[in-house]
Structure 1
């Protein structure tokens, strides 16, 4: 009879292992609590905004455009949206916005460089960027402009647009010698360039980059007229007859 009764199994000292989901719940709970505490602490707020590369656009304009300031949440800043917003500024060629955890933002700006100045009918001077944009909201304030001045032009004139883009491609050493660029009355494709050596240079607008490369060869000539057209020749102001010059001179 005793052989049919199973032996009693003692459960003393044996405990059921806790479910692994309990550990997952505890980890998630405390991680969430730490994250909430981090969000509410000063560590999650932007402490420093680094802005570099800008010359025309001010720091205040960049911050206002992106709505960034010290103290805002690190996670509230959308880099892509900030970049898209800043590239809408006519001065900005490209921009990059990067966040560095936990509280730093870096904004790197590349602008279209100003290459010339546009003179309006009321004698205001406005910067012209290398892409042809005229900055109507940023009047030139210097008494001695360092860029050539486009005088007598209509802004929508295609010859003007072509001339600006051609001048932008010139080396700075050549562009700096130009004082003014004006349309030629009897030829819609030509422009007249006045230099700091009292030279009058006549060239087609769409050939400024190619033909003005020869100007340094004539730079030391006396005041006169330089024609950079089908043929290249120079006429001193005091001489009635032009003096022919070879392109290779």
Structure 2
């Protein structure tokens, strides 16, 4: 009788299959992880490139400076200086330095500087409004310097000065420099000039010059020179629309009486005039 050895291999092969499937799953999972990492890296690269093109490159370009409140010639003057000192790119543009450059110019009353992503810089400027103009020396040349209602002297690039802005001469030489301020003694005169400009600007079209003649104790009086006339008109410091109107009427009347008049005096509430040969005193001024 033969002996048979029977061995059951079912469990052995089953274990091998399980181990094989487990190994295959591990390999598959590892591959999937690698694929996920590669996809993630690819997405990150795309985002970085998009960010560079959308954000970094525009910010690195020269700043697009946009001015408001001034004409093109004034904007060009400021733009050249600002681009030299504040950085050409938007990222490096220094708002504080730009603001300092603007407000240090006497012609600028106020200014705001704002950066707007990705490449724009907005500059808003409020210029001083001249109420009068005077003359000063610069580099051996006589140039006009404008004066605002607060007595601040400033230069401007404007070629043609408004003819309703009167010329004032006789100011103290030490203040005839841009950026300086007139003495408070003259502020009332500037305020009156501004009122006339707002209400009757055509009166200044009839004047070629307002000359300030100093008096004792720090006061002053005025000498007015009508345009196209050799007559000098003297009056006190109180320049008003009424006094200018009275002066023009009086000029017409006296020119018909005596065309040789060279000076009219409206001071002290009376009217007098002089000719080349004599002086005539009239009656009190009629208001």
Aligned partner of 1:191 among 215, 221, 226: 221
Cα distance in 2 for partners of 1:164, 1:127 equals 17
Counterpart position of 2:236: 203
Instruction: Say which of 85, 88, 92 aligns to 2:101.
Output: 85
Q: Does 1:132 align with 2:157?
A: no
How far did 1:127 drift? 1.6
Spell out, residue by residue over 1:118-168, the C-alpha distance to the aligned partner (whole angstroms, 9 max, x if none): 234778242222043334x76997699663333333234747754664455
Larger radius of gyration: 2
Q: Which has more helix, going by share of residues?
A: 2
Please give the secondary structure, in 2, of the residue aligned with 1:179: strand
Instruction: Name the CA distance, whole Å, in 2 between partners of 1:52 and 1:125.
Output: 27
Aligned partner of 2:169 in structure 1 is 151
1:215 is aligned to 2:248: no
State the shift of 1:56 in Å.
Answer: 9.9
Q: Distance in 2 between matches of 1:170 and 1:177?
A: 17
| Cα-to-partner distance string for 1:42-76 (whole Å, 9 max, x where unaligned) | 4763564322322597223211332279x943333
Of residues 150, 171, 174 in structure 1, which corresponds to 2:196?
171
Q: CA deviation at 1:240?
A: 1.7
Counterparts of 2:72 and 2:208, CA distance in 1: 22
Q: In 2, Cα distance between the equivalents of 1:94 and 1:179?
A: 31
User: What is the CA–CA distance in structure 1 between the aligned matches of 2:169 and 2:95, rounded to whole Å?
Assistant: 41
- Compute the displacement of 1:94 (Å): 0.9
Distance 1:88 1:43, change over 3 A: closer
Residue pair 1:202, 1:226 contacting (<8 A) in 2 also: yes
Greater shift after overlay, 233-242 or 100-109?
233-242
Q: 2:283 aligns with which of 221, 239, 243?
A: 243
Q: Report the alpha carbon displacement of residue 93 of structure 1 after superposing the two structures with TM.
A: 0.6
Q: TM-score, normalised by structure 1?
A: 0.62
Following the alignment from structure 1 to structure 2, what is the Cα–Cα distance between the partners of residues 50 and 154?
39
Partner of 1:226: 266
Measured after TM superposition, the shift of residue 114 of structure 1 is 2.7
Q: Unaligned 5+ residue runs, structure 1? A: 1-11, 13-24
Alignment: residue pair count: 218
**Structure 2: tracts of 5 or more residues without a match:** 1-24, 26-39, 176-182, 255-263
Query: Is 1:99 matched up with 2:127?
Result: no
